[in-house]
């Protein structure tokens, strides 16, 4: 396997050391091949939102598996899951199930180009929308972690149609639209960036983006692969009150099994074959096991107080980390929404990818290793958000903060930290 892994961030390239090979998970915990237990704040990059190996989810998968693994035909369960998604996100009038977030983003952009008859798309620096050629320009996630601004193998003729902008910069957005009158097919955005850390939109930013898209006939796509069903049942669009033209969803709607979806306005989605001329297909789309897993996961998330519980746990975690860092004189910027959170070793709030890159990566690397050694598993990259599940308890949060306090003390005492710009700024 290239780099010894099947996805780049898993290789620990940004934090050093050998990646941990996990054997099993249960609730809020993971166990590695040597039997060491970790409190897990990746939760399979978000979809294990009800906890690993939830008994009701396992039972749903086992029941579906007994009927067969894949048919290549329509099933009733696909329709049930689609209705659950549409009920939660009214902006989605029609949707198509696929097998991954990458496939969903790629397909949504193809449909948007067909709908508008235009070629250009606009994305934001540090946002990651999968590894399709046109989306690897200044991407987040593993590309940001490895310091890659693009990728060899992507033709210039493909990349030339991708425009990029700074997140939270309305003035630059206005300039880009003014310079590309009636040529931008779609804008795709993570409404909360989760692939360059956790970066919240500033007040008025998404509203200005929606207004520009409407004025220029550009399709607005919310990539809610990370935020959908995590920050709220209706995704971030339900919190900000903005109705995107299209929405992209990922693993969480399959409870962690390979699945994704793209959907939106009926007049746009009606272009997808066989209803329309835009071709997209997938043998494993709507896989019976993935759909059964997703239905049960969303049912559990529909229980009273599910999202209040997630938000309370996230708040206690990030405020606990912030307090522990302050006690030790370590600058830390934190934020959360629902079950999604993030932190940067930064004196100042992080508003875009450029701010994120100025954070103290040396301190993050040391923090990650110290936490890992004491049984706390955060993402092995400063450019990834973290996730809690309904299985995380207050005792887990308290234990995590206690370990973090000791890690912050060791960071504060390190010679590298005392020479860092972040330390000098905080000391001043």
Round to whole Å and give the CA distance between 166 and 100.
26
335 as an active site residue: the answer is no
Which residue among 120, 251, 322, 366 is the active-site one? 251
Q: What are the phi and psi torsion angles at 7 (to 5°)? A: -160, 135
Residue 158 in tokens: 């493909």
- Per DSSP bridges, beta strands 246-249 and 260-264 are antiparallel
Round to whole Å and give the CA distance between 360 and 344.
8
Round to whole Å and give the CA distance between 139 and 150.
7
Which residue among 29, 41, 128, 353 is the active-site one? 128
Which residue among 223, 245, 335, 396 is the active-site one? 223
366 as an active site residue: the answer is no
Contact (Cβ atoms closer than 8 angstroms) between residue 228 and residue 86: no
First and final C-alpha spacing in the chain = 48
Residue 335 in tokens: 């934020």
Round to whole Å and give the CA distance between 232 and 313.
14
- Per DSSP bridges, beta strands 340-344 and 386-387 are antiparallel
360 as an active site residue: the answer is no
SS3 category, 101: helix
Catalytic residue list: 128, 223, 251
């Amino acid at each position: 396997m290239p780099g010894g892994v099947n996805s780049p961030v898993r290789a620990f390239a940004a934090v050093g050391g050998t990646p941990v090979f996990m054997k099993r998970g249960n609730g809020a915990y993971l166990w590695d091949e040597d039997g060491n237990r970790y409190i897990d704040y990746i939760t399979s990059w978000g979809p294990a939102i009800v906890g690993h190996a939830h008994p009701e989810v396992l039972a749903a998968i086992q029941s579906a598996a007994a009927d067969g693994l894949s048919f290549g035909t329509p099933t009733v369960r696909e329709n049930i899951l689609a209705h659950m998604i549409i009920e939660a996100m009214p902006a989605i009038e029609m949707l198509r199930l696929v097998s991954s977030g990458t496939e969903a983003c790629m397909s949504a952009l193809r449909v948007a180009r067909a709908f508008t008859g235009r070629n250009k798309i606009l994305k934001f620096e540090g946002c990651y929308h999968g590894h399709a050629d046109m989306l690897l320009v200044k991407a987040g996630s593993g590309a940001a972690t490895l310091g890659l601004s693009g990728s060899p193998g992507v033709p210039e003729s493909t990349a030339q149609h991708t425009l990029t902008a700074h997140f939270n910069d309305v003035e630059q957005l206005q300039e880009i639209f003014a310079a590309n009158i009636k040529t931008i097919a779609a804008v795709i955005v993570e409404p909360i960036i989760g692939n360059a850390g956790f970066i919240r939109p500033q007040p008025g930013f998404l509203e200005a983006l929606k207004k520009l898209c409407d004025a220029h006939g550009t399709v607005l796509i919310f990539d809610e692969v990370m935020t959908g069903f995590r920050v709220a049942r209706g995704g971030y669009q339900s919190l900000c009150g903005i109705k995107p033209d299209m929405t992209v969803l990922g693993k969480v709607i399959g409870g962690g099994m390979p699945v994704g979806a793209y959907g939106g306005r009926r007049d746009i989605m009606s272009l997808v074959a066989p209803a329309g001329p835009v071709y997209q297909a997938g043998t494993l789309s709507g896989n019976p096991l993935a759909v059964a897993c997703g239905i049960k996961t969303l049912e559990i998330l529909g229980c009273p107080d599910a999202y209040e519980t997630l938000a309370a746990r996230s708040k206690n975690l990030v405020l606990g980390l912030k307090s522990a860092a302050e006690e030790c004189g370590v600058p830390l910027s934190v934020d959360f929404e629902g079950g999604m959170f993030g932190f940067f070793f930064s004196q100042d709030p992080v508003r875009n990818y450029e701010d994120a890159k100025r954070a103290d990566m040396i301190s993050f690397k040391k923090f990650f290793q110290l936490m890992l050694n004491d049984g706390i598993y955060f993402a092995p990259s400063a450019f990834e958000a973290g996730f809690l599940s309904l299985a995380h308890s207050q005792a887990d949060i308290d234990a995590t903060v206690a370990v973090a306090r000791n890690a912050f003390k060791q960071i504060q005492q390190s010679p590298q930290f005392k020479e860092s710009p972040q330390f000098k700024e905080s000391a001043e």
